[in-house]
Amino acid sequence: MGLRIELNDAPQEVDYQAILAPLKEYNQAQAGLIETEKFALLIKDDVGATQGGLYARISGQWLFVELLVVPEAARGQGLGAKLMARAEAQAREKGCQGIWLDTFSFQAPDFYRHLGFSLFGELKDYPVAGYNRFFMQKRFD
């Protein structure tokens, strides 16, 4: 079978799935079936419109916080900590061993440290020079 590498500047979902399928098959053979479960905690305004919240997924025994945003007018009032506490409760209920996330140096690393998260990785000068991307975790005891 002749193979070649081809650049595709506009990949389609079918291309993504063609790459993902054998990777999932290999991972399942190595680690067993790992299901992913998504959930969101939504911050709603008086008319029911979503103004922010937390979007996460549980995969294996870890909860990954993909998105967290508190509306600017509500920051500093404990809403972010409440979202994280609810996510942690969900993770514990699902038998997770911890939570992980990533944040930029200009976002909220101190907020997460205050909640008990520790740094496990750092990508310097990302997204641009002078800023860093932090990878943080909180293991449950």
In whole angstroms, what is the distance from residue 18 CA to residue 25 CA?
12
- Whether residue 20 lies inside any domain: the answer is no
Which residues pair with residue 100 across a beta bridge? 64, 137
Give domain status of residue 21, yes or no. Answer: no
pLDDT at 21: 94
**pLDDT tens per residue across span 76-92:** 999 999 999 999 999 99
| Contact status, residue 101 vs residue 64, Cβ threshold 8 Å | yes
Q: Which three-class secondary structure state does DSSP give residue 124? A: strand
With cut-offs at 50, 70 and 90, classify the pLDDT of residue 105: very high
In CATH, what number is assigned to the domain containing residue 80?
3.40.630.30
Task: Supply the pLDDT for residue 72.
Answer: 93
Judge whether 86 lies within some domain.
Answer: yes
Domain extent for 50: 33-139
10 Å CB burial of residue 104 (0-12, 13-18, 19+) is middle
Cα 29 to Cα 36: distance, rounded to the nearest angstrom = 16
- pLDDT band of 12, cuts 50, 70, 90: very high
- Using CA atoms, how far apart are residues 54 and 43, in angstroms rounded to an integer? 8
